[in-house]
């Protein structure tokens, strides 16, 4: 007997409908009011809504589990036990917010024997597979070689070969899943001055990355993710967008630079980096999250919502200009300790979508004119006006029309999903990781 798509949905459709019915009247009034306001500025709310409805951002499989800090991990109730549980949790997110149909898997964490079956399992939940991620920043239990002192850039060629092999295996798995990209982030670097030869380690990176690049299918891309620090604290081999761009340009057209918002020093102007990468046709896409200090992995927009908007301002501007090679991939990358990950990921997905909607409202002709006239005040006010517009009715309407929830959080809490999972899924151990 085959199960239908409706039956495989983790949240009861009736609950979503009932909660939406309670909110539909208010939403309609708010939508109409916003529509009138935007019309006065020459903006057609229906056109904005159409654009927003096309926007999607992928969920990281590792994000549905409770993350840890360097000090400890505090497991939450009903945590996913394996990739199947993770997919189900991702299914909940997508069912309610309807802009997160992609899932980004991480290997070997999510390794299975039958990837074709996993692809079908995802499809049953309305999910497809986005970029696959390789993990050579951790040793596998029982592995003969260690990545403690590096992987793709290790001084030992046999260890480098093992790291390359793992990436090639990820590509093979991704092919069966229907993915079209591999994201490569390495933890390689050094913690002490003198520990690592900067130029030679980068050369080794290029040689290893070349092997991965050469194994990419014709329609695949390789996303190079840079990170300022951690786990290495003095230097990392791919530490910034400069190193990433150098590598991407050396490797060729299928190699692009991925921007994880948390991988920069606190005061760095990320939207400018985004513009530079767009300018040279090398922007792969994003790992969205937010941070106050470093790689905090907090929910998108929780600390600096204006920065997120400014990033989207660059993206909308590039789309308007039809910038060459501009086709960014959007993914969330967050995993922390204190909230229900499903709730956090739902809100992050909706926040990223909201930033996109706000950026669509920027009066670009006016902004161009103010920039040309060096009217700094009016130029910046033009951006502010879009950012300060409450676009909630647009994103709520997009969700509603796609079958999702006007208020995903309320429906999720009312569903008792986490409580049910806590009964089914045994409590996981709090051990693992930590420096104390």
CA 247 to chain centroid, in Å, comes to: 22
Are 231 and 187 a contacting pair, CB within 8 Å? Answer: yes
Residues from 330 through 389 that contact Mn ion (CB under 5 A): 333
- Residue 434 Ramachandran class (φ > 0 left, ψ -120 to 50 alpha, else beta): left
- 79 scored as a contact of Mn ion (CB under 5 A): no
Which of 89, 130, 260, 299 binds ligand PSV (CB under 6 A)? It is 260
Which of 130, 260, 290, 340 binds Mn ion (CB under 5 A)? It is 260
Least Å from the CB of residue 65 to ligand PSV: 11
Q: Which is nearer to ligand PSV, 227 or 418 (CB)?
A: 227
Least Å from the CB of residue 301 to Mn ion: 17
Angstrom distance (rounded) from CA 394 to CA 57: 17
Side-chain half-sphere CA neighbours of 308 within 13 A? 28
Least Å from the CB of residue 123 to Mn ion: 26
Closest of 188, 191, 203 to residue 237, by C-alpha: 188
The entry of ligand PSV, Mn ion, none that residue 227 binds, CB within 5 to 8 Å by partner kind? ligand PSV
Spell out the residues 6+ positions from residue 46 whose beta carbon is closer than 8 angstroms to its own: 35
Which of 282, 287, 354, 418 binds ligand PSV (CB under 6 A)? It is 287
The entry of ligand PSV, Mn ion, none that residue 62 binds, CB within 5 to 8 Å by partner kind? ligand PSV
- 89 scored as a contact of ligand PSV (CB under 6 A): no
How many other CB atoms are found less than 10 A from the CB of residue 350? Answer: 26
Closest of 98, 87, 195, 187 to residue 135, by C-alpha: 187
Q: Which is nearer to ligand PSV, 298 or 362 (CB)?
A: 298
Which of 240, 295, 363, 375 binds ligand PSV (CB under 6 A)? It is 295
Least Å from the CB of residue 395 to ligand PSV: 26
Least Å from the CB of residue 62 to ligand PSV: 6
State the residue number with the nearest CB to ligand PSV: 185
Spell out the residues 6+ positions from residue 409 whose beta carbon is closer than 8 angstroms to its own: 343, 346, 347
Two tokens at 86? 């993770």
- 407 scored as a contact of ligand PSV (CB under 6 A): no
Are 265 and 228 a contacting pair, CB within 8 Å? Answer: yes
Which of 19, 79, 110, 225 binds ligand PSV (CB under 6 A)? It is 225
Closest of 106, 135, 97, 35 to residue 347, by C-alpha: 97
Q: Which is nearer to ligand PSV, 98 or 227 (CB)?
A: 227
Angstrom distance (rounded) from CA 176 to CA 217: 12
Q: Which is nearer to ligand PSV, 53 or 133 (CB)?
A: 133
Which of 9, 100, 133, 236 binds ligand PSV (CB under 6 A)? It is 133
- 62 scored as a contact of ligand PSV (CB under 6 A): yes
**Element of type H or E holding 374:** none
Are 300 and 289 a contacting pair, CB within 8 Å? Answer: yes
**Element of type H or E holding 400:** helix 392-401
Residues from 302 through 341 that contact Mn ion (CB under 5 A): 333
Which of 121, 188, 271, 333 binds ligand PSV (CB under 6 A)? It is 333
Which of 204, 221, 227, 418 binds ligand PSV (CB under 6 A)? It is 227
Angstrom distance (rounded) from CA 59 to CA 209: 25
CA 343 to chain centroid, in Å, comes to: 15
Alpha helices in 178-290 (DSSP H): 198-214, 241-251, 270-279
Least Å from the CB of residue 283 to ligand PSV: 16
- 188 scored as a contact of ligand PSV (CB under 6 A): no
235 DSSP β-pair partners: 190
Q: Which is nearer to Mn ion, 121 or 333 (CB)?
A: 333
Which of 49, 86, 264, 287 binds Mn ion (CB under 5 A)? It is 287
- 264 scored as a contact of Mn ion (CB under 5 A): no
Q: Which is nearer to ligand PSV, 64 or 386 (CB)?
A: 64
**Element of type H or E holding 368:** helix 364-372
Two tokens at 151? 């992987």
The entry of ligand PSV, Mn ion, none that residue 295 binds, CB within 5 to 8 Å by partner kind? ligand PSV
Q: What residues make contact with ligand PSV under the rule CB under 6 A?
A: 62, 133, 185, 225, 227, 260, 287, 295, 333
Q: Which residues bind Mn ion (CB under 5 A)?
A: 260, 287, 333
């Amino acid at each position: 007997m085959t199960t239908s798509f409706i039956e495989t949905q983790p949240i009861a459709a009736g609950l979503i409908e009932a909660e939406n019915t309670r909110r539909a009247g208010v939403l309609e009034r708010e939508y109409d009011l916003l529509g009138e306001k935007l019309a006065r500025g020459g903006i057609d709310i229906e056109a904005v809504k159409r654009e927003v409805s096309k926007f999607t951002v992928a969920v990281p499989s590792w994000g549905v589990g409770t993350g840890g800090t360097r000090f400890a991990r505090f497991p939450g109730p009903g945590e996913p036990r394996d990739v199947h549980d993770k997919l189900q949790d991702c299914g909940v997110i997508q069912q309610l917010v309807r802009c997160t149909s992609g899932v980004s898997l991480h290997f070997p964490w999510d390794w299975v024997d039958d990837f074709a079956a996993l692809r079908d399992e995802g499809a049953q939940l309305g999910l497809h597979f986005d970029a696959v991620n390789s993990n050579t920043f951790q040793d596998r239990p029982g592995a003969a070689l260690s990545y403690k002192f590096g992987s793709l850039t290790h001084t030992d060629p046999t260890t480098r070969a093992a790291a390359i092999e793992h990436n090639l295996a990820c590509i093979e798995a991704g092919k069966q899943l229907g993915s079209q990209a591999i994201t490569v982030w390495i933890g390689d670097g050094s913690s002490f001055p003198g520990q690592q030869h900067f130029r030679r380690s980068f050369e080794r990176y290029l040689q290893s990355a070349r092997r991965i690049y050469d194994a990419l299918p014709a329609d695949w891309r390789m996303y190079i993710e840079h990170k300022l620090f951690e786990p290495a604290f003095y230097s990392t081999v791919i530490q910034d967008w400069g190193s990433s761009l150098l590598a991407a340009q050396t490797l060729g057209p299928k190699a692009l630079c991925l921007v994880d918002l948390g991988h920069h020093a606190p005061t760095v102007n990320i939207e400018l980096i985004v513009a530079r990468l767009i300018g040279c046709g090398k922007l792969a896409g994003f790992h969205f999250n937010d941070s106050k200090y470093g790689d905090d992995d907090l929910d998108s927009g929780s600390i600096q919502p204006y920065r997120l908007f400014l990033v989207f301002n660059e993206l909308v501007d590039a789309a308007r200009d039809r910038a060459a090679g501009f086709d960014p991939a959007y993914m969330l990358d967050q995993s922390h300790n204190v909230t229900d990950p499903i709730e956090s990921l739902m809100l992050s997905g909706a926040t990223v979508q909201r930033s996109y909607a706000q950026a669509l409202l920027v009066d670009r002709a006016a902004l161009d004119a103010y920039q040309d006239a060096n009217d700094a005040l009016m130029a910046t006010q033009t951006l502010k006006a879009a950012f300060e517009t409450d676009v909630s009715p647009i994103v709520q309407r997009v969700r509603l029309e796609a079958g999702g929830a006007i208020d995903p959080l309320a429906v999720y809490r009312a569903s008792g999903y986490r409580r049910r999972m806590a009964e089914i899924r045994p409590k996981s151990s709090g051990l693992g990781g930590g420096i104390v």
